[in-house]
């Protein structure tokens, strides 16, 4: 049973206000969304110019991976929520009428997720990201869930604002140690771009083709683009000129 709106508001605000500014607050907010809104996962995604730039906060590895799919496939509810500046609801990804994000939906369903709700995160008049809520059980909002989710999306703007403010001022002291390397500039999924640079040199292709090959391998193998990028950087994976794969170390990637 969903708590009353008063309890939802108190619990969500306490999650943000009781945590260190920035990443910890975003993670705590996502965890509170899972607990209070009856979800199975939640993530805060940064989006710029129509592209997912990074998973800033998440309730856990599952939530982070589901958000990562939207970057890998270049489609998903969070991107639409930012593009249209309104909530995007997918109460059943397995419904015959749900055809908006075929690649994302297949991956999410494979992970046991049936319902996804994405709400835009605004800082003044700018839409900077989205709050993604994931649930294994299909169905729409129940009780006070919609109002609670809308409040959570508003509260999510504060951790993102803390991130951007710290990055602009260079205030390292305001960041937790584990967040020291996560800045607004670093949210562009660094490992993917490093791996793209490696592929440009190895395969003698341009940046666009290198990125396409990386994402294609991710889709074909059921991984995220970041997972493939890390494997390339660590030399556990080599993509050949024909679009296949090889392993310079002789073992599995």
Q: Is the Cβ–Cβ distance between 82 and 54 less than 8 Å?
A: no
Pairwise CA distance, residues 98 & 215, whole Å: 24
pLDDT of residue 175: 43
Do residues 28 and 155 make contact, with C-beta atoms less than 8 angstroms apart? no
What does the alpha-carbon distance between residue 223 and residue 57 come to, in Å, rounded to a whole number? 20
The per-residue pLDDT for 152 is: 97
CB atoms closer than 10 angstroms to residue 204: 10
pLDDT of residue 177: 39
Q: Which residues pair with 253 in a beta bridge?
A: none
12 within 8 A of 155, measured Cβ to Cβ: yes
State residue 47 phi and psi, 5-degree precision: -130, 135
The whole-number pLDDT of residue 10 equals 95
Domains of the chain: 5-159 (3.30.450.40), 179-246 (1.10.10)
pTM: 0.72
Q: What's the confidence (pLDDT) of residue 98?
A: 97
Is beta strand 115-123 parallel, antiparallel or unpaired with respect to 126-135? antiparallel
Q: Lay out the sheet containing 88-90: strands in order across.
A: 51-58, 41-48, 126-135, 115-123, 88-90
Alpha carbons 83 and 80: distance in angstroms, whole number: 5
- Paired residues of 121 in beta bridges: 129
The predicted structure's pLDDT at residue 128: 85
By the 8 A CB rule, do 33 and 149 touch? yes
Both tokens of 86, joined, read: 């309104």
Backbone angles phi, psi at 57, to 5 degrees: -140, 155
Q: How would you write the pLDDT of the chain (253 residues) with one tens digit per residue?
A: 778 889 999 999 999 999 998 889 999 999 999 999 999 999 999 887 676 677 889 999 999 999 989 988 989 999 999 999 999 999 999 999 999 999 999 999 999 999 999 999 998 778 889 999 999 999 999 879 999 999 999 999 998 887 766 544 454 444 443 333 344 444 446 788 788 889 999 999 888 788 888 888 887 888 888 889 999 999 999 988 765 555 443 334 4
Sign of the CA dihedral running 7, 12, 15, 20? negative
- Cβ atoms of 41 and 193 within 8 Å: the answer is no
CA atoms of 114 and 137, how far apart (whole Å):
6
């Amino acid at each position: 049973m969903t708590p009353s709106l008063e309890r939802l508001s108190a619990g969500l605000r306490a999650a943000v206000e009781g945590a260190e500014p920035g990443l910890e607050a975003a993670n705590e907010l996502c965890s509170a969304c899972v607990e209070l809104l009856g979800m199975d996962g939640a993530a805060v995604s940064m989006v710029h110019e129509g592209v997912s730039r990074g998973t800033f906060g998440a309730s856990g590895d599952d939530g982070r991976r589901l958000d990562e799919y939207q970057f890998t496939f270049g489609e998903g509810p969070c991107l639409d929520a930012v593009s249209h500046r309104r909530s995007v609801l997918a109460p059943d990804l397995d419904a015959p009428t749900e055809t908006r994000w075929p690649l994302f939906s297949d991956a999410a369903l494979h992970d046991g997720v049936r319902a996804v709700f994405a709400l835009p995160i605004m800082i003044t008049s700018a839409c900077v990201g989205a709050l993604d809520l994931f649930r294994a059980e299909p169905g729409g909002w129940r009780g006070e869930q919609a109002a609670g989710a809308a409040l959570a999306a508003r509260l999510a703007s504060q951790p993102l604002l803390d991130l951007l403010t710290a990055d602009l001022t260079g205030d390292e002291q305001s960041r937790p140690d584990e967040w020291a390397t996560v800045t607004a500039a670093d949210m562009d999924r660094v490992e993917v771009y490093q791996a793209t640079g490696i592929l440009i040199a190895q395969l003698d292709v341009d940046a666009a083709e290198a990125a396409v090959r990386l994402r294609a391998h991710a889709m074909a193998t059921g991984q995220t683009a970041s997972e493939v990028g890390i494997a390339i950087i660590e030399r556990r994976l080599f993509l050949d000129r024909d679009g296949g794969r090889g392993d310079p170390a002789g073992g599995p990637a």
